[in-house]
């Protein structure tokens, strides 16, 4: 028994004499956390037990001036923050935390609403007795800029601009145009405000610019331009001069020969994509029109081959990416706007069935069979 007791003592002492450094290093974050928690506890205790910083009369509770209503303090914002924390925790981790957070938010918001109604009733009761001062305008000597629709118009223009950056085409041009027009109008308004301020400083007479009217004309013109841009980008209507490599949407091939069957992988007409004698040819042809691949099932020889990609969407960029079974890119084609035909050189593709997609518009898909 004494031997066992002695061995246990040696085991405990060995942890300090010959420590496991890896385990000790792993405990460093835990030790830092303990130190931080102790420091926070001491800090809270110090503020909780702190006495008055000066001697004399006791401090008075702050009161609002006469005829000024100040809502009382509330714990609702803090409790709502805890409820939102549990909700987000439950959304990420799952479990009962989500429902706990929802319950906390619901109860706290009800209490918060009751407090707001109580404050509103207090203000309503004092409405008749409160001294209300109504100014006809800004105080003397103060120039206030008038209201403006420019921020709303700028937000709409920037929204169209960002949609254009994503989808490309005419929508991008319309977004840039609307944003530039709005900023120029904003600059004109700022110039008018500056002139009025200078006049007030020199003459002492304060006058604001007239209040703006609803920009109905600009809104209607902008909506019409956005609608036309969407129609053009979708290929419903082709702008004048915007013919595709096949002679324009809905037109027969330039050579007059019928197009090859979809999915055969054979070029149409004279062996060129789309039947055009000037368009480059490839081992297989892929056509994009109306923001979709019209050739969704093509064939190509195994190993090295070429793809003649005919992008017929005016101003809309497309490309052809070949994906493997795991979703990785076997081939990454370069995106370019239409109408144009480019030939991709594909190397080292083994026999099998692959999916090809457009990286700009992932909904555009097709199947290429390598034999």
CB within 8 Å of 210: residues ≥ 6 apart: 146
* pLDDT (0 to 100) of residue 259: 43
The answer to which of 69-73, 325-329, 358-362 has the lowest mean pLDDT is 69-73
Measure the CA–CA gap between 371 and 360, rounded to whole angstroms.
28
Specify whether 121 is located in the same domain as 155: no
Specify whether 281 is located in the same domain as 365: yes
Q: Is residue 56 part of a domain?
A: no
Q: Is residue 316 part of a domain?
A: yes
On whether the pTM is more than 0.85, the answer is no
CA 220 to chain CA mean position, Å: 27
- Range 90-109 average pLDDT: 86
Give the highest mean pLDDT range of 125-139, 222-236, 281-295.
281-295
Please give the radius of gyration of the chain, using alpha carbons only, rounded to the nearest integer.
37
Give the highest mean pLDDT range of 75-79, 123-127, 269-273, 306-310.
306-310
* pLDDT (0 to 100) of residue 129: 56
Question: Residue 357 pLDDT > 50, yes or no?
Answer: yes
- Range 39-58 average pLDDT: 76
Q: Is residue 363 part of a domain?
A: yes
* pLDDT (0 to 100) of residue 263: 38
Q: Is residue 354 part of a domain?
A: yes
Confidence bin at 274 (pLDDT 50/70/90): very low
Find residue 337's DSSP bridge partners. Answer: 317
Q: Is residue 322 part of a domain?
A: yes
Specify whether 99 is located in the same domain as 154: no
| Residue that is last in its domain, among 185, 209, 233 | 233
Q: Closest by alpha carbon to 161, among 210, 226, 208?
A: 226
Confidence bin at 340 (pLDDT 50/70/90): very high
The answer to which of 19-33, 176-190, 213-227, 249-263 has the lowest mean pLDDT is 249-263
Question: Residue 135 pLDDT > 60, yes or no?
Answer: no
Confidence bin at 355 (pLDDT 50/70/90): very high
Domain with 158, as residue range(s), is: 150-233
Q: Is residue 267 part of a domain?
A: no
Find residue 308's DSSP bridge partners. Answer: 285, 343
Measure the CA–CA gap between 333 and 366, rounded to whole angstroms.
14
* pLDDT (0 to 100) of residue 152: 87
Q: Is 343 exposed, middle or buried (0-12, 13-18, 19+ CB in 10 A)?
A: middle
Q: Is 77 exposed, middle or buried (0-12, 13-18, 19+ CB in 10 A)?
A: exposed
Question: Residue 72 pLDDT > 80, yes or no?
Answer: no
* pLDDT (0 to 100) of residue 180: 92
Q: Is 355 exposed, middle or buried (0-12, 13-18, 19+ CB in 10 A)?
A: middle
β-pairing verdict for 317-318 and 336-337: antiparallel
Question: Residue 53 pLDDT > 70, yes or no?
Answer: no
Asked if 229 contacts 173 with a C-beta cutoff of 8 angstroms, the reply is yes
Question: Residue 232 pLDDT > 80, yes or no?
Answer: yes
DSSP code of residue 357: E
| Residue that is last in its domain, among 233, 258, 284 | 233
Specify whether 122 is located in the same domain as 155: no
CATH of the domain at 280: 2.60.40.420
Question: Residue 239 pLDDT > 50, yes or no?
Answer: yes
Task: Give the count of beta carbons closer than 10 Å to the beta carbon of residue 128.
Answer: 6
Measure the CA–CA gap between 314 and 244, rounded to whole angstroms.
7
- Which tens digits make up the pLDDT trace of 245-271? 334 444 444 443 344 443 333 433 333
Q: Closest by alpha carbon to 297, among 351, 367, 370?
A: 367
* pLDDT (0 to 100) of residue 269: 38
DSSP code of residue 346: E
CA 264 to chain CA mean position, Å: 41
The answer to which of 142-146, 224-228, 265-269, 304-308 has the lowest mean pLDDT is 265-269
CA 42 to chain CA mean position, Å: 44
Q: By three-state DSSP, how is residue 127 classified?
A: coil
Specify whether 112 is located in the same domain as 172: no
- Range 11-26 average pLDDT: 69
Specify whether 112 is located in the same domain as 190: no
* pLDDT (0 to 100) of residue 235: 72
Measure the CA–CA gap between 287 and 63, rounded to whole angstroms.
76
- Range 25-41 average pLDDT: 87
Q: Closest by alpha carbon to 195, among 136, 139, 145?
A: 145
* pLDDT (0 to 100) of residue 69: 65
Measure the CA–CA gap between 25 and 22, rounded to whole angstroms.
5
Question: In angstroms, what CA-CA distances link 355 with 247, 275, 297?
Answer: 28, 25, 9
* pLDDT (0 to 100) of residue 258: 40
Specify whether 305 is located in the same domain as 343: yes
Measure the CA–CA gap between 346 and 370, rounded to whole angstroms.
11
Q: Is residue 69 part of a domain?
A: no
Measure the CA–CA gap between 289 and 341, rounded to whole angstroms.
12
Question: Residue 343 pLDDT > 90, yes or no?
Answer: yes
Question: Residue 139 pLDDT > 70, yes or no?
Answer: no
Q: Is residue 246 part of a domain?
A: no
Question: Residue 25 pLDDT > 70, yes or no?
Answer: yes
- Which tens digits make up the pLDDT trace of 141-185? 566 667 788 888 888 888 888 888 888 788 889 989 999 999 998
Per the prediction, the chain carries an average pLDDT of: 78
Specify whether 358 is located in the same domain as 284: yes
DSSP code of residue 338: B
Measure the CA–CA gap between 216 and 234, rounded to whole angstroms.
27
| Residue that is last in its domain, among 94, 126, 158 | 126
Number of domains in the chain: 3
**Helix or strand holding residue 297 (H, E):** strand 297-300
């Amino acid at each position: 028994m004494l031997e066992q007791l002695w061995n246990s003592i040696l085991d405990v002492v060995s942890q300090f004499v010959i420590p496991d450094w890896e385990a000790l290093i792993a405990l460093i974050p835990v030790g830092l956390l303990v130190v931080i928690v102790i420091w926070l506890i001491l800090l809270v205790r110090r503020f909780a037990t702190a006495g008055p910083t000066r001697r004399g009369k006791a401090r008075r509770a702050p009161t609002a001036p006469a005829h000024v209503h100040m809502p009382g303090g509330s714990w609702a914002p803090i409790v709502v923050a805890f409820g939102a924390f549990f909700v987000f925790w439950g959304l990420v981790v799952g479990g009962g935390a989500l429902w706990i957070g929802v319950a906390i938010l619901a109860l706290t918001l009800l209490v918060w609403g009751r407090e707001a109604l109580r404050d509103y009733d207090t203000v309503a009761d004092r409405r008749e007795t409160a001294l209300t001062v109504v100014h006809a305008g800004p105080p003397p000597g103060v120039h206030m800029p008038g209201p403006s629709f420019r921020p709303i118009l700028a937000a709409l223009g920037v929204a169209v601009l960002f949609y254009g950056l994503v989808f490309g085409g005419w929508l991008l041009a319309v977004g840039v145009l609307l944003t530039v027009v709005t900023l120029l109008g904003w600059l004109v308004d700022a110039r008018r405000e500056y002139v009025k301020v200078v006049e007030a400083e020199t003459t002492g007479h304060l006058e604001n610019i007239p209040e703006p009217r609803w920009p109905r004309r600009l809104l209607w013109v902008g909506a019409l331009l956005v609608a036309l841009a969407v129609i053009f980008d979708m290929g419903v209507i082709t702008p004048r001069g915007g013919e595709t490599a096949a002679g324009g949407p809905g037109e027969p091939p330039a050579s007059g020969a019928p197009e090859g069957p979809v999915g055969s992988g054979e070029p149409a007409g004279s062996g060129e994509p789309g039947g055009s004698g000037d368009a480059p040819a490839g081992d297989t042809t892929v056509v994009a029109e109306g923001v979709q691949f019209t050739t969704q099932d093509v064939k190509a020889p195994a190993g090295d081959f070429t793809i003649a990609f005919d992008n017929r969407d005016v101003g809309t960029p497309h490309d052809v990416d070949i994906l493997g079974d795991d979703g990785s890119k076997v081939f990454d084609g370069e995106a370019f706007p239409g109408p144009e035909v480019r030939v991709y050189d594909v190397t080292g593709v083994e026999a099998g069935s692959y999916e090809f997609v457009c990286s700009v518009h992932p909904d555009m898909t097709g199947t290429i069979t390598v034999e």
